[in-house]
């Protein structure tokens, strides 16, 4: 039996957060550590390319830095996670969106179109950073590991 990735089980995240905050609080000898609803909301919108292990690491880091009675807020979470909640300022798509300008045929499914666009953007950003995965990931708003997973999935070489 294969367990679906965490991004497909977002409804479980609040329970997991509660469990792991308590687990790490006990491990580090902290008392009364809780996550605010805003922090939980932020954790729920992340795609978790590193799955449950990445969530655990995030919570472990936050609890390790906390003092007794701390409320974990979005400010105590990693910058990569906070970046997810900040949508970039961009113009909304207009009705005359030209998919052909992105070399995406109109007769493909949405997942195929998204994959083609994602591949192109990743390749362009990697090229701009001379194959430096860390810099490219930062520009794309991904973790380094998240970008590495996409590179593997799309069979894109990091060195350009």
- What is the pLDDT, as a whole number, of residue 31? 94
Q: CATH number of 6-78: 1.10.8.60, 2.160.10.10, 1.10.645.10, 3.30.2350.10?
A: 1.10.8.60
- What is the pLDDT, as a whole number, of residue 91? 40
- CATH 1.10.8.60 placement within the chain: 6-78
- CATH 1.10.10 placement within the chain: 99-154
- What is the pLDDT, as a whole number, of residue 100? 53
- What is the pLDDT, as a whole number, of residue 33? 95
- What is the pLDDT, as a whole number, of residue 153? 84
- What is the pLDDT, as a whole number, of residue 94? 42
Local mean pLDDT, 10-residue blocks, the chain (160 residues) = 84 93 96 92 86 94 93 89 56 46 71 82 89 88 83 80
125: tokens are 């950003």
- What is the pLDDT, as a whole number, of residue 113? 79
- What is the pLDDT, as a whole number, of residue 158? 79
CATH class of 99-154: mainly alpha
């Amino acid at each position: 039996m294969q367990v679906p990735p965490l991004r497909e089980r977002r409804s479980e995240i609040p329970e997991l957060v509660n469990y792991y905050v308590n687990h790490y609080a006990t491990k580090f000898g902290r008392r009364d550590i809780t996550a605010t609803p805003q922090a939980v909301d932020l954790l729920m919108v992340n795609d978790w390319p590193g799955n449950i292990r990445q969530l655990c690491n995030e919570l472990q880091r936050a609890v390790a830095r906390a003092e007794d009675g701390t409320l974990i807020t979005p400010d105590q979470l990693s910058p990569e996670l906070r970046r997810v909640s900040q949508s970039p300022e961009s113009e909304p798509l207009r009705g005359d969106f030209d998919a052909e300008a992105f070399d995406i045929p109109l007769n493909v499914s949405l997942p195929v179109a998204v994959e083609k666009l994602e591949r192109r953007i990743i390749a362009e950003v990697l090229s701009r950073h001379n194959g430096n995965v860390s810099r490219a990931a930062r520009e794309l708003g991904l973790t380094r590991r998240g970008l590495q997973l996409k590179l593997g999935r799309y069979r894109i070489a990091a060195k350009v």
